[in-house]
Structure 1
């Protein structure tokens, strides 16, 4: 594609934001422009290139083949520029620019947010937009640079870097167990109020346990369930029932005594935690360095947890 010599950097930035956001209004908000100003800039870009870049409809926009080609080249060019800026910052041992990070609600609040405090303190030029939700984000459509997710990766258009391996565990508050007793076998959970988390819009009420090579699945029930893992954890802390959580999400509560493990002799399922990026997009240096930082921070969690679990 032949680009005009007077093509402006802001035009390319707007077009890439538009392509990734899917709507002109969303791209305008990200660039702090009015929709009218963003529309005018897009029209000027199309006029300068003498091609139609976007097929417009009343509710959405779709890139033309020429638009897809421009996005590919524009992302590469903007990525190279970001790398140059970051490398100049790296000479001062700092990271600069903005990174959009998505994570499950409880993990984002309990684990990632404290990690980011330390990272941002060491890199004052870095800005992190953290999206916390138990609904999985689309990396391209939602403008996410890094998504932190539990489970295995099955999408070939994404690249995963393993951060941690966690295990599901049963937890309850000391007050709940004092009132209702402590179950000694998974089947006794039928006598308890179990707090369920919605997964893929369905309540997760089939809890799996393993011990000595054997596996047992128990169907649980209770009077509360939510699609927010953080809310389920808070209910458990309040003494409202027993929850099955990723151990990583409740480490702080276990250490503080707000929660205790239930049936610790029965192991829950183990599953990995990954940092995921798209394979189709150039990764600015600040994104790659933040990935490295997260790997280091999670390794420190592993070491601290192992020390705490080892008898003196």
Structure 2
């Protein structure tokens, strides 16, 4: 059993996108009858039913969905490999309108589908995306911004930027930067309510809490800072918090804190700019919040396109530079 040509894979992908053989045939510039024959031939050769047909629509079977997921990435890698091979030949590259970038670097091409949390994107990532695309103008960025965790396979994500530990052992992660959470509030809030001298006093303050995966975070943890700035040995201080505002969007929690509506427990990366301009205050410099590393999560290291590797390197360098 094998795929005889890339047109078969492309047809399956276009069927999934358009929901019908007619739509797929238009994209591929063939007749609906030719598209139907090609699909039936592929199913017969593989011994698999790839689509469910009805009078109004077409949808992929489980086997078809599996083939589509891997076929999409295979075609993208093939396209990238052909582009790199073309650009390795200066004569062929010039004839095709290609070429090399500065200092002889091969141009990166293709689409990168990125998922990232809202506050992280707005506070830190957008300038890094801009600089990467300026360096690689043949790359397309498709950005999904949400604090909800997407299914990296089902949603066809090439790169997800997420805080915390990697839960799915089937994925590949690269730790971009080590971070911790911190309790922050605006000067206006502290003027009205007073500044807590110890994390335990947060129990009496208006705290902006976060919800993720239907879990409401009602406990914040702190670790005493050691002489070298590290977390001192011993159990964490656990503080039960409460407030009238909660959200599943990190950017909203950040905005509420800036408005003086409460205390927020945020990644230091998300609030770095607000702290630098004095819009927010680190309430407990002698304490460290829970570790919250930023991870670049990818479906597979083995078949990772060069453009995705380059973007991960770019983000790591930019975030480390601060």
Scaled to the shorter chain, the TM-score interval is: 0.7 to 0.9
> Which has the larger displacement, 278-287 or 190-199?
278-287
Aligned residue pairs: how many?
286
Task: After superposition, give the CA deviation of every residue in 1:8-45 in whole Å (9 maximum; x if it has no partner).
Answer: 64x52352476xxxxx3xx23xxxx9784138586343
Q: Distance in 1 between matches of 2:121 and 2:40?
A: 44
Counterpart of 1:37 in structure 2 is 23
Cα 1:281–1:264 change in 2 (3 A) is: same
Q: Which one of the candidate residues 260, 265, 268 is aligned to 1:239?
A: 260
Task: After superposition, give the CA deviation of every residue in 1:214-268 in whole Å (9 maximum; x if it has no partner).
Answer: 4211111111100101100000001101000000111011111111111221211
Q: Tell me, yes or no, if the aligned pair for 1:96 and 1:126 is still in contact at 8 Å.
A: yes
SS at 1:100 equivalent: strand
**What does residue range 111-190 of structure 1 map to in structure 2 within 5 Å?**
111-190=124-203
Q: Tell me, yes or no, if the aligned pair for 1:163 and 1:274 is still in contact at 8 Å.
A: yes
Counterpart of 1:213 in structure 2 is 233
SS at 1:275 equivalent: strand
SS at 1:95 equivalent: coil
Q: Distance in 1 between matches of 2:200 and 2:3?
A: 68
Counterpart of 1:91 in structure 2 is 100
Q: Tell me, yes or no, if the aligned pair for 2:173 and 2:295 is still in contact at 8 Å.
A: yes
Q: Tell me, yes or no, if the aligned pair for 2:110 and 2:138 is still in contact at 8 Å.
A: yes
Q: Tell me, yes or no, if the aligned pair for 2:208 and 2:246 is still in contact at 8 Å.
A: yes
Residue 198 of structure 1: how far off its partner (Å) = 0.6
Counterpart of 1:284 in structure 2 is 305
SS at 1:270 equivalent: coil
Counterpart of 2:228 in structure 1 is none
Q: Distance in 2 between matches of 1:226 and 1:74?
A: 35
Q: Tell me, yes or no, if the aligned pair for 1:75 and 1:281 is still in contact at 8 Å.
A: no
Q: Which one of the candidate residues 207, 211, 234 is aligned to 1:198?
A: 211
SS at 1:166 equivalent: coil
Counterpart of 2:285 in structure 1 is 264
Counterpart of 1:304 in structure 2 is none
Structure 1: runs of 5+ lacking an equivalent: 19-23, 302-312
RMSD, aligned α-carbons: 2.8
SS at 1:249 equivalent: coil
> Which has the larger displacement, 212-221 or 140-149?
212-221
Residue 56 of structure 1: how far off its partner (Å) = 5.5
Is residue 253 of structure 1 aligned with residue 251 of structure 2?
no
Residue 281 of structure 1: how far off its partner (Å) = 7.3
Q: Tell me, yes or no, if the aligned pair for 1:83 and 1:285 is still in contact at 8 Å.
A: no
Higher-Rg member (1/2): 2
Q: Distance in 2 between matches of 1:17 and 1:139?
A: 20
Q: Distance in 2 between matches of 1:199 and 1:208?
A: 17
Residue 95 of structure 1: how far off its partner (Å) = 2.1
SS at 2:270 equivalent: helix
Task: After superposition, give the CA deviation of every residue in 1:123-171 in whole Å (9 maximum; x if it has no partner).
Answer: 2221111111111011111110001111122322211111011100011
Q: Distance in 1 between matches of 2:156 and 2:24?
A: 18
Q: Distance in 2 between matches of 1:35 and 1:239?
A: 56
Structure 2: runs of 5+ lacking an equivalent: 26-31, 88-97, 225-231
Residue 283 of structure 1: how far off its partner (Å) = 2.1
Is residue 275 of structure 1 aligned with residue 296 of structure 2?
yes
User: What TM-score, normalized by structure 1, do the two folds share?
Assistant: 0.81
Q: Tell me, yes or no, if the aligned pair for 2:174 and 2:297 is still in contact at 8 Å.
A: yes
Counterpart of 1:82 in structure 2 is 80
Q: Distance in 1 between matches of 2:178 and 2:99?
A: 31
Is residue 100 of structure 1 aligned with residue 121 of structure 2?
no
Residue 116 of structure 1: how far off its partner (Å) = 0.5
